[in-house]
């Protein structure tokens, strides 16, 4: 039976944005001070739960509320409404230098940071040598941390966080500051935590890390939970939302004319053959797989004669394959309004080793674009190395006696 270690119930968190930037402006605006302040709602009725041993990624665009939610779970911020319940010791690596005093040495900050995390001095002393060794900065441990580089900050902060025996580890984006060897070291430590059954809540803008490390992903947009599902679905939705923002910034009369009629609302890739997920690629399989593009299409009004176009390209944009349902589909397409689910299958896909993207477009009977998503899904093909190039073949050779 799953044991719940984090419960978030109806969280609301708002911040006041003050517009005065100087004493002069404050004096000039004293009579209308209220009009110079704005309220920003970072979280709006957020609820979720996390079980022991789960690794959960918080994803979303900048300003969506990810870091605010993590800080409330960690007890750094208090919500305006709602409540959070956390079971066990929480270690939070939330921002660069959080919990460090700049005028204290690294040695002194280890004990200070450990005490903030609820660790006694005797316990911290027991962990001290391991913390210093993992951080890789023993030569600077007695130097004031205000002289540390950003990478040294992260090394020491992460080392303290993972060595105080936490039940719940909160990590917010800061790992991007460290160099590649240290990032790999951190990832290995996080995987060790996962094997030990600890709970991890992870904020990152790197979809590869979320897909690789997390069991679930919670997508936040404008302070609300939009998707709480396996990473491939949440990241797929996030990727489509990003793509729509890009498309919205392009001046396209066709899109402006017809976007209200239909939309591609959900896309995720699967395979009918054994495959696995790795990094940001939703499917990693050998050649010859049947690639399935799972779709949800929403029509605000009936559209007759519409068609779905799909193309497969390498991640560098080299074209591999295009299909149009108008060319091969004999059965009539549904024309009613509402949401329709469908699966577009590519059987026996003999692509060579490489990384690929799927692009999608929806057109009406006049070929006016209704919706389009570039890079709607990513997948990878891994071969036995017997051949190279965009097309796969497993060659053999026979010798006839002379």
| Average pLDDT per 10 consecutive residues for the chain, totaling 402 residues | 88 81 63 65 92 92 90 90 91 70 89 80 88 89 88 84 86 70 82 90 82 88 91 79 67 48 86 70 81 90 87 82 84 78 91 89 87 87 81 86 81
Summary count for the chain: helices (H), strands (E):
10, 18
Q: What phi and psi, each to the nearest 5 degrees, are found at residue 352?
A: -75, 175
Q: What is the DSSP-derived secondary structure letter of residue 333?
A: P
Neighbours of 250 (CB within 10 A): 7
- Give residue-wise pLDDT tens across range 51-72: 999 999 999 988 899 989 999 9
What residue spans define the domains of the chain? 4-229, 231-381
- Give residue-wise pLDDT tens across range 120-137: 888 888 889 999 998 888
Contact between 71 and 77 under an 8 Å Cβ cutoff? The reply is yes
State residue 31's pLDDT score. Answer: 57
State residue 253's pLDDT score. Answer: 46
Contact between 181 and 141 under an 8 Å Cβ cutoff? The reply is no
What is the radius of gyration, based on Cα positions, of the chain?
26
State residue 251's pLDDT score. Answer: 47
CATH topology of domain 4-229: Rossmann fold (3.40.50)
Residue 388, C-beta contacts closer than 8 angstroms, at least 6 positions apart: 352, 353
Q: pTM for the complete prediction?
A: 0.65
SS3 of residue 306 by DSSP: coil
Contact between 70 and 203 under an 8 Å Cβ cutoff? The reply is yes
Cα gap 145→150, rounded to integer Å: 10
E strand or H helix that includes residue 154 = helix 150-163
CA 83 to chain centre: 25
Strand partners, 262: 299
Tokens of 8: 């978030």
Cα gap 233→337, rounded to integer Å: 24
Contact between 294 and 269 under an 8 Å Cβ cutoff? The reply is yes
Superfamily of domain 231-381: abc- transporter (atp binding component) like domain (2.70.50.60)
């Amino acid at each position: 039976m799953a044991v719940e270690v984090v419960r978030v119930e109806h969280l609301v968190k708002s911040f006041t944005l003050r517009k005065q930037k100087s004493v002069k402006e404050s004096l000039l605006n004293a009579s209308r001070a209220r009009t110079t302040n704005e309220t920003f709602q970072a979280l709006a009725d957020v609820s979720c739960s996390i079980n022991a041993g789960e690794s959960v990624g918080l994803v979303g665009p900048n300003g969506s509320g990810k870091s605010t939610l993590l800080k409330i779970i960690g007890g750094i911020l208090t919500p305006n409404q709602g409540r959070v319940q956390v079971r066990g010791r929480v270690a939070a690596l939330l921002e660069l230098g959080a919990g460090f005093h700049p005028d204290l040495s690294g040695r002194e900050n280890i004990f200070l940071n450990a005490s903030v995390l609820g660790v006694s001095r005797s316990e911290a002393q027991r962990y001290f040598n391991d913390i210093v060794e993992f951080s890789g900065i023993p030569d600077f441990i007695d130097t004031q941390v205000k002289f540390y580089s950003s990478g040294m900050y992260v090394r020491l902060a992460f080392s303290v966080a993972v060595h105080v025996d936490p039940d719940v580890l909160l990590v917010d984006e800061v790992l991007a500051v460290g160099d590649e060897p240290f990032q790999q070291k951190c990832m290995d430590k996080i995987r060790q935590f996962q094997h030990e059954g600890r709970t991890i809540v992870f904020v990152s803008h790197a979809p590869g890390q979320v897909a690789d490390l997390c069991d679930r992903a919670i997508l936040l947009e404008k302070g609300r939970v939009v998707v709480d599902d396996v990473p491939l679905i949440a990241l797929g939705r996030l990727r489509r939302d990003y793509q729509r923002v890009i498309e919205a910034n392009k001046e396209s009369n066709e899109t402006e004319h017809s976007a209200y009629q239909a939309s591609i609302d959900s896309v995720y890739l699967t395979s009918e053959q054994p495959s696995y997920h790795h990094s940001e690629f939703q499917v990693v399989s050998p050649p010859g797989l049947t690639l399935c593009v799972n779709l949800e299409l929403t029509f605000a009004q009936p559209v007759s004669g519409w068609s779905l176009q799909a193309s497969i390209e390498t991640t560098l944009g080299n074209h591999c394959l295009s299909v149009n349902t108008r060319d091969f589909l004999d059965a009539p397409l549904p024309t009613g309004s509402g949401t329709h689910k469908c699966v577009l299958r590519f059987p026996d896909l003999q692509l060579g080793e490489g990384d690929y993207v799927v692009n999608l477009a929806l057109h009406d009977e006049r070929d006016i674009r209704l919706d389009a998503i570039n890079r709607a899904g990513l997948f990878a093909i891994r071969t036995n190395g017997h051949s190279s190039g965009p097309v796969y073949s497993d060659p053999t050779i026979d010798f006839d006696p002379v």
